[in-house]
Amino acid sequence: MEPIYMLWLREVKRYTRSRPQILASLGQPLLYLLALGFGLGATYQKANGGSYLQFISPGIIGMAVLFSSVFSGIALLWDRQFGFLKETLVAPVPRIEIMFGRTLGSATTSMIQGLLVSIVCLIAGFRPISLSAIPVALFFLLLIAILFAALGTTIGSLIPDMQAFPIVMNFLVLPIFFLSGALFPLDTAPKALQIISSFDPLSYGVDGMRGALVGHSHFGPLVDTIVLICVAIVLLCIGAWRFSKIEI
Amino acid sequence: MRNTGIARKSGRHCHGRSDCPEDFDSMIRVQQLVKKFGDFTAVDNVSFDVAKGEIFAFLGPNGAGKTTTIKMLTTLLAPTSGTLEIDGMNPVEKQHEVRQQIGIVFQDPSTDQDLTAWENMELHGALYHVPRKVRKQRAELLLKLFELWDRKDSLVKQFSGGMKRRLEIARGFLHTPKILFLDEPTLGLDPQSRNQLWTHVKYLNQNEGVTVFLTTHYMDEADRVANRIAVIDHGKIVAMGSSAELKAQTEKESLEDAFLVLTGAGIRDEAAGSAEQMRQVAKMWGRR
């Protein structure tokens, strides 16, 4: 177990040591919150949607976790290029343990990132319906953090270098965000879009958090939980399998 | 051959090869090893044995296939064809078991630059299951030996090239493996550290019976420490034997001259790898 703990600790140390990066990564969610939350707020209210800021805050928190998890999973590529990956790959530790340590580390740091963005949302005026909602929301936050950290590790094991990074960003991460219902209500979306969104794991994460924090859920918390756990397990398995096949 | 003092058992691995004495007990055994990357053949039908307790050097110009061979021996790369045995085990099938027997100092940097020197040592100790007490003692000893003790709590990214290299080597010695692989370990080291390194390698070899497989392109080093030397060029072994045998074979006074006779005097280019490109990109991004 010690190797898993040490690799987890490494991810956490690296995260807490990059304070300028933490601040910089809060900029993007803040921008979404300001431009959309306040910019579209009045229009949304006129359409009887209620407060748009209330609506998108869980979506923005979900976005922060998505980006931060996938990025820290992809940091595998940096380790590959800068050599540290080799050090872990030749060690007499089963690769699945190495993968788990890294992935748990990524999930932890993106959880922290999600909590920081939650604080930003609170400052901007977001108010959860009750305090008892918070543990439930944290549970969903944890699930999406693990799920997307596993996705990040899988991508990191599959693509050879950072040149493939824009492709991953444009054809995977951004669609996951925009099609998830983080920014628009799935209830009133066109049927086709609803179907597409139902294949997007982030939809269930955001829906779960929104259900807890705002009191409105599209799929229901049980479906959200089951889908997220299943997808997370599948991605962890694929990630572990791909990670065990890495050659340098 | 200077294989005296090497554990002797059966000659079952030799199959009557001329370079192989009767009492040869091999720790590394390679037969008809081939590695192709697309059309390019990096390692071309290479066969050799390394005896238990031997120091064996792979000598070759840039791009000769030294590092690729080490990667295959250390489970990082699967061969295209041929057979490999590390302590009687196939590194392709028994990856985990083989990893338990080996230690490696890589040619490229492999420390985590965002951690301190001490943290790198700790992490290595954890990965190699070195007990905490031993880990602390040895890490302190090695960091002092390679003159990094004063800087143990500095981030590795603040280190000079030579210091990073020394840390890499100190870390490689933290656990005592059965086989130690050293891939151009002295690249970028000052003479003092180089001396320290070889003294330590000889100590491990003589006192702990560690088998050493090293690559270098410094002839004097191979001459000084290696029992046997294989000269590799364009993925093929062009000569193998003790330093004296290689000199005799080429009728030259020094190993350096013998090497030039065997591999020619032309300068080799190594294609700038993607790693180098990445380092430049990363510099631009200010990531490290």
Block means of pLDDT (10 residues each) for chain B, 288 residues, are: 41 45 78 93 94 93 89 93 94 92 91 95 95 94 93 94 90 92 89 89 91 88 91 91 88 83 74 56 53
Looking at residue B8, its pLDDT comes to 39
Radius of gyration of chain A (CA): 18
In this complex, which of A79, A83, A92 lies closest to B100 when CB atoms are compared?
A92
* Residue B205 lies inside a defined structural domain of this protein: yes
How far apart CA A42 and CA A50 sit, in angstroms, is 9
* Residue B6 lies inside a defined structural domain of this protein: no
Beta bridge partners of residue B83, listed in sequence order: B31
In this complex, which of B71, B99, B278 lies closest to A81 when CB atoms are compared?
B278
* Residue B278 lies inside a defined structural domain of this protein: no
Interface contact A17, partner B, CB < 8 A: yes
Closest to B275 (Cα-Cα) out of B116, B109, B156: B109
* Residue B190 lies inside a defined structural domain of this protein: yes
Looking at residue B12, its pLDDT comes to 41
In this complex, which of B110, B274, B288 lies closest to A87 when CB atoms are compared?
B110
* Domain at B102, CATH number: 3.40.50.300
Counting Cα atoms < 13 Å in the Cβ hemisphere of B103 gives 25
Copy the structure tokens of residue B230.
């294989």
pTM reported for the whole predicted model: 0.85
Count other Cβ atoms within 10 Å, centred on residue B283: 10
Counting Cα atoms < 13 Å in the Cβ hemisphere of A140 gives 30
* Residue B285 lies inside a defined structural domain of this protein: no
How far apart CA B60 and CA B239 sit, in angstroms, is 11
pLDDT tens sequence for chain A (248 residues) = 899 999 999 999 999 998 888 888 898 899 999 899 888 888 888 887 789 999 999 999 999 999 999 988 888 888 988 889 999 999 999 999 999 999 999 999 999 999 999 999 999 999 999 888 999 999 999 999 999 999 999 999 988 788 888 888 889 999 999 999 999 999 999 999 999 999 999 999 999 999 999 998 999 999 999 999 999 999 999 999 999 888 87
Q: DSSP letters along A40-98, please?
A: THHHHHHTT---HHHHHHHHHHHHHHHHHHHHHHHHHHHHHHHSHHHHHHSSSS-HHHH
Amino acid sitting at position A164: A
Amino acid sitting at position A94: P
Q: Answer whether B170's CB lies under 8 Å from B201's CB.
A: no
How many structural domains is chain B composed of?
1
SS in 3 state form for B137-163? HHHHHHHHHCCCHHHCCCEHHHCCHHH
Closest to A82 (Cα-Cα) out of B102, B37, B273, B65: B273
Return all residues near B32 (Cβ < 8 A) that are at least 6 apart: B45, B46, B47, B81, B82, B83
- Judging contacts by C-beta atoms under 8 Å, the chain A residues touching residue B288 are 82
Q: A54 to chain B, minimum CA–CA distance in Å?
A: 36
Task: Write A132-136 long-range contacts (CB < 8 A, 24+).
Answer: A133/A212, A133/A213, A133/A215, A134/A212, A134/A213, A136/A208, A136/A211, A136/A212, A136/A221
- Which residues of B fall below an 8 Å CB-CB distance to A? 71, 74-78, 96, 99-100, 102, 104, 106, 108-115, 119, 122-124, 126-129, 155, 274-275, 278-279, 281-282, 287-288
Q: Answer whether B219's CB lies under 8 Å from B59's CB.
A: yes
How far apart CA A199 and CA A196 sit, in angstroms, is 6
Closest to A143 (Cα-Cα) out of A212, A233, A218: A233
- Judging contacts by C-beta atoms under 8 Å, the chain A residues touching residue B75 are 90
How far apart CA A143 and CA A48 sit, in angstroms, is 31
Question: Between chains, do A6 and B127 touch, taking CB under 8 Å as contact?
Answer: yes
Q: What are phi and psi of B212, to 5 degrees?
A: -120, 130
Return all residues near B121 (Cβ < 8 A) that are at least 6 apart: B135, B139, B142, B143, B170, B171, B174
Q: Where are the domains of chain A?
A: 2-244
Copy the structure tokens of residue B39.
């059309």
Q: Answer whether A89's CB lies under 8 Å from A95's CB.
A: yes
Interface contact A13, partner B, CB < 8 A: yes
How far apart CA A111 and CA A146 sit, in angstroms, is 9
Class of residue B265 by CB neighbours under 10 A (exposed 0-12, middle 13-18, buried 19+): exposed
Return all residues near B136 (Cβ < 8 A) that are at least 6 apart: none
Beta bridge partners of residue B84, listed in sequence order: B30
Residues 216-245, chain A, touching B (beta carbon < 8 A): none
Q: A17 to chain B, minimum CA–CA distance in Å?
A: 8
Question: Between chains, do A91 and B99 touch, taking CB under 8 Å as contact?
Answer: yes
Residues in chain B: 288
* Residue B233 lies inside a defined structural domain of this protein: yes
* Residue B112 lies inside a defined structural domain of this protein: yes
Q: DSSP letters along A89-153, please?
A: HSSSS-HHHHHHHHHHHHHHHHHHHHHHHHHHHHHHT---S-TTHHHHHHHHHHHHHHHHHHHHH
Residue A95 CA: distances (Å) to CA of A57, A151, B76: 37, 17, 12
Q: B74 to chain A, minimum CA–CA distance in Å?
A: 7
* Domain assignment of residue B164, given as a range: 52-75+95-264
Q: Answer whether A241's CB lies under 8 Å from A233's CB.
A: no
Looking at residue B288, its pLDDT comes to 38
Return all residues near A244 (Cβ < 8 A) that are at least 6 apart: A95, A96, A99
Counting Cα atoms < 13 Å in the Cβ hemisphere of B69 gives 36
